Amino acid sequence: MISVKLPTLLRGHAGGRPEVQSEGGSLGELLENLERRYPGLTDGLRDGRGLRRHVNVYVNGEDVRYTGGLDTSLGEGDTVMILPAVAGG
Amino acid sequence: MTEPRFTEEQVLRYARHIFLPQLGAEGQGRLADGSVLVIGAGGLGSPVAMYLAAAGVGRIGLLDFDKVDVTNLQRQLLHDTDDVGRPKVESGRERLLDLNPTIEVVAHDTPLTSQNAFQIFEPYDVIVDGTDNFPVRYLANDASQILGKPLVYGSIYQFEGQASVFLPGREHPCYRCLFPEPPPPGTVPSCAEAGVLGVLPGIVGSIQATEAIKLVAGIGEPLAGRLLLLDALAMEFRTMNLRWDPACPVCGEEPSVTELIDYEAFCGLTPGEAPPEAERAPEVAS
């Protein structure tokens, strides 16, 4: 299982949960699985080019932009954190 | 090193700072000689400006074009109930001088634009980003990087906060290294739409004030190359390491943004057209 920490912005798609569990051999697969389980959750995270550039995803604290993006491989026990830009002040 | 020229009253006022071995009278002198621009006299700007004033930062600029609204009072401690309807920089300036009449407070009652940013930033040592919208965040970042000034970043959403310090120059990540592009307009609700816990900007703004004070006094390790994340509901803090992006258009190896651009267009907004509420919400800055 892979733990996915959700920002407040996305929790509404997952019944308000701050964290969900899912599976996938890569980040892309994980997001597909999440989308099937929680429709709309990952819609805003991707576009035709891959991850949108206002969203950061960290696997075990590492920014996936530097580890292969959606192809970043995942394994049992990994922790994924999704961090979108917010602008409130 | 400028010899501190504190009066007896000031020595008492700053006694708890002067006692700190890391700061001392010399550090307090650097604060007195220092200057900080606070962008946004709202949720984040309130604690930032108040702590900087109390700390004796010699010159504080307060920038906001908005007026105090009753919905601001839940979190914007610069403003009183009686201030509703007044320009924020006016009531803010009053509050700061009440806290510390020995400092100078400059009110910039204007929006920050690509036309005025350099001129406004120029006389300040450190810039603090307490704005409430993406175009001004990218503008503040680019202007700080181009002018070579440190930018103390803070941002909030509902119960979550982010803070970092973007130092100028290569090998220090900037806001664009963190978020290369803004979200599509209207996809990230503002505090006005989504709500915000009133004390949240108090926490994040206090962190920004701490960083600004450290930078001006020249002490400690700045929150640079790191992003501090706060989840107030879980009351969890975590720190992510940030990377400098060699391809960054502003601070990368071959910068393509060397002057200020049209930030509304960059954020997908039509210039001259009122941005969606989610991007604008002037009363939130707020």
Which tens digits make up the pLDDT trace of B25-76?
A: 999 999 999 999 999 999 999 999 999 999 999 999 999 999 999 999 999 9
Write out chain A residues lying below 8 Å of B130, CB-based: 89
Sheet holding A79-84, edge to edge: A19-22, A2-5, A79-84, A55-59, A62-63
For the whole model, what pTM was predicted?
A: 0.93
What is the nearest CA distance from B119 to chain A, expressed in angstroms?
A: 23
CB contact under 8 A, B182 and A85: yes
Q: Between residues 28 and 87 of chain A, which touch chain B (CB distance below 8 Å)?
A: 44, 52-56, 58, 61, 63, 66, 83-87
Closest CA to B39 of B90, B111, B96, B91: B111
Region label for A40, one of left (φ > 0), alpha (ψ between -120 and 50) or beta (otherwise): left
pLDDT digits (tens, 9 = 90+) for B178-193: 999 999 888 888 888 8
**B236, β-bridge pairs:** B231
- Report how far residue B14's alpha carbon sits from residue B5's, in angstroms, rounded to the nearest whole number: 12
What is the nearest CA distance from B31 to chain A, expressed in angstroms?
A: 25
User: Is residue B241 within 8 angstroms of chain A, CB to CB?
Assistant: yes
pLDDT at B2 over 80: no
Strands B104-108 and B59-63: parallel
Q: What ipTM did this prediction achieve?
A: 0.92
pLDDT digits (tens, 9 = 90+) for B133-158: 999 999 999 999 999 999 999 999 99
Task: Report residue B200: phi and psi, to 5°.
Answer: -55, -50
Predicted local confidence at residue B275, as pLDDT:
47
Write out chain A residues lying below 8 Å of B181, CB-based: 52-54
Write out chain B residues lying below 8 Å of A7, CB-based: 157, 160
CB contact under 8 A, A89 and B43: yes
Which among A61, A63, A87 has CB closest to B188? A87
pLDDT digits (tens, 9 = 90+) for A64-85: 999 999 999 999 999 999 999 9
Joined together, the tokens standing for residue A13 give: 């798609």
N- to C-terminal Cα separation, chain A:
36
pLDDT digits (tens, 9 = 90+) for B94-118: 999 999 999 999 999 999 999 999 9
Task: Report residue A24: phi and psi, to 5°.
Answer: 160, 145
- Report how far residue B143's alpha carbon sits from residue B114's, in angstroms, rounded to the nearest whole number: 8
pLDDT at B225 over 80: yes
What is the nearest CA distance from A88 to chain B, expressed in angstroms?
A: 4
Predicted local confidence at residue B127, as pLDDT:
99
**B107, β-bridge pairs:** B62
- For residue A40, the SS3 value is coil
**Pick among A51, A54, A60 to test the B interface (most B CBs inside 10 A):** A54
Which among B157, B182, B187 has CB closest to A88? B157
pLDDT at B1 over 70: no
